[in-house]
């Protein structure tokens, strides 16, 4: 059991302890988590996957990401916005994704809302809630990392006000972590970016 500080992996490099439980996590941690993500479709994918993760382990979503991309037209907002009742039925029968009716409906509904936004608006809205990195303490242990912040609560409210669903403050903070709005790699983690 770890005390929540960075742990040496098989290659000797220190990483956030959660990253060492599976090879899938190591790759995700080292190559994606906490790196800046821009673009409406890319952010729609991350937002949708974080919503699907709610109540589940992230590894469950990560291992099905290829299936999610295939099922949801690579998360192209314009494509998902045109999904029909037949698509919904197809998604509910697709074993390659999480077959949760409410989350599927929210993803389609969110795409329809976002399809009416001017290009770049989702990117602008999300990134406008990034806190000033200079004012954030660098986490030393996992216990230093919050599940919700004032910024994630504000982002959640802004997304809901614009008509999006399944975007609570915890989901918003997970999105902020995954997309590089905050850097929650531990101080001694090899992936900590300056």
Q: Inter-axis angle of helices 85-92 and 101-115, to 10 degrees?
A: 140
Q: Residues with catalytic annotation?
A: 28, 50, 58
Predicted structure pTM score: 0.95
pLDDT at 193 (0 to 100): 65
Adjacent-strand bridge partners of 15: 7
59 touches 22 (CB < 8 A): yes
Residue with tokens 């960075």: 6
The pair of structure tokens assigned to 38 is: 């821009």
Helix (H) or strand (E) holding 14: strand 14-15
Structure letter (DSSP) for residue 15: E
The C-alpha atoms of residue 9 and residue 6 are separated, in whole angstroms, by 9
Tokens of 175: 């999105």
Q: Count Cβ neighbours within 10 Å for each residue of 73-91 and write b for 16 or more, e otherwise.
A: bebbbeebbebeeebeeeb
pLDDT at 98: 97
Q: What is the pLDDT of residue 4?
A: 83
Local mean pLDDT, 10-residue blocks, the chain (194 residues): 82 94 94 97 98 94 97 98 98 98 98 98 98 93 96 98 97 97 96 77
């Amino acid at each position: 059991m770890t005390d929540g500080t960075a742990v040496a992996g098989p290659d000797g490099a220190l990483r956030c302890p959660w990253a060492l439980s599976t090879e899938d996590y190591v790759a995700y941690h080292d190559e994606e988590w906490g790196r800046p993500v821009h673009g409406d479709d890319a952010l729609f994918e991350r937002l949708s996957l974080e919503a699907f993760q709610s109540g589940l382990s992230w590894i469950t979503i990560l291992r099905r990401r290829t299936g999610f991309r295939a099922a949801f037209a690579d998360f192209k907002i314009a494509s998902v916005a045109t999904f029909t009742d037949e698509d919904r039925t197809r998604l509910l029968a697709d074993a390659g994704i999480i077959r949760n009716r409410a989350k599927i409906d929210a993803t389609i509904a969110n795409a329809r809302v976002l399809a009416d936004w001017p290009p770049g608006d989702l990117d602008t809205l999300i990134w406008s809630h990034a806190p000033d990195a200079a004012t954030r303490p660098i986490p030393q242990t996992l216990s230093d990392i919050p599940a919700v912040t004032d910024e994630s609560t504000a982002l959640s409210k802004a997304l809901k006000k614009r008509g999006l669903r399944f975007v609570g403050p915890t989901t918003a903070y997970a999105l902020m972590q995954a997309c590089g709005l905050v850097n929650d790699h531990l101080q001694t983690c090899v992936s900590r970016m300056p």
